[in-house]
Amino acid sequence: MIRNIVLSYALLFACFFGHAQTFTLAVQKDSVSFRGLDTFGENVVWVSGSKGTVGYSKDAGSTWVWVSPQGYEYVDFRDIKAFSAKEAIILSAGAPAVILRTTNGGKSWNKVFSDDREEVFFDAMDFEGKTGYVLGDPLDGSFQLLKSTNNGKSWNDISNQMYLIADKGEVAFAASGSSVQLLNGVLYIGTGGTYASLFNYDPKNLRVDKFDCPIWSGSSSTGIFAIDFYDQQTGIVVGGDYQQDQDNRNNVLITRDAGKSWTKPQVPVSGFRSDVLFLSKETVIATGTSGTDLSTDGGMKWKNISTLSFNTIAKSKSGKKMYLTNSKGQVYMLTL
């Protein structure tokens, strides 16, 4: 009986990977790097990136409208949140530190938050319902944290309400907008640099937990670059060293207790990874500048499905449509 179960699993695994995964170029903007990516519903896709570039598609990537805000041509918008085809928020990385919002499909943009301090660097944002958070690199020893309760129409700096204390040299990364995740009211935060950790920020219970994460870290180019939790306990972190993107010595870890303990996969990803996404409890995809990997067993065994370079991945509401962006100004569609 056990032999039959093992054989059946092996056949399913082989059958799944026997089908070719198809990467199709949807659009390309020359001399632009895209790191901001989000979807709404089944067919709406928004992207943002360097040179103030912002665009969206309402037909699953077939046609695109470019709606870059005027006066921000030198700003790198590394994260974006789509509320609809008309409503979105973009987040800058570096100076100027700004959050812009549109309600008319990018015909106009309103500045809803700004911080003029040179040391401010926003890394990522995430929303659950009308509540959203923006994470910034440490200021005076603690990570900066902004909060909105009205779909990003206004923001408050709550950094000193419940401190996210950083170790010396500890930072967050703005590689994909995926170093934070808001799930069931708890904000999960992955960090890196000289020290990598996972924060569980729980404002309802007035609690902040910080857990060591033994992913590759120790220098400014290493650590957790992206996180994704399937539920309150089960999550995956990816990263590594973006300067050595084909080295896969310790780039992915799994937790089943919200970061208290970590498990290495039996077969790891193929290199540095800057984004990760659960498609189901068992199917997980991770991508980065050295390629894309797929797992069908919750992250324990990974198989490389492409060596194309990407920064970010997102899925439609149903999960049937997937999109990836890269530093060549390209948006790809992925079919499994």
Do 238 and 224 touch, CB atoms closer than 8 A?
A: yes
d(C-alpha 170, C-alpha 172), whole Å? 7
Domain boundaries, the chain: 21-335
**Homologous superfamily in CATH for domain 21-335:** YVTN repeat-like/Quinoprotein amine dehydrogenase (2.130.10.10)
Helix-strand-coil split of the chain, %, nearest 5: 5, 45, 45
Give the amino acid at 242: Y
Tokens of 292: 């894309």
Do 111 and 102 touch, CB atoms closer than 8 A?
A: no
Do 34 and 49 touch, CB atoms closer than 8 A?
A: yes
Specify the pLDDT at position 336: 86
Specify the pLDDT at position 17: 52
Specify the pLDDT at position 180: 98
Low pLDDT (below 50) residues in the chain: 1-15
Specify the pLDDT at position 95: 87
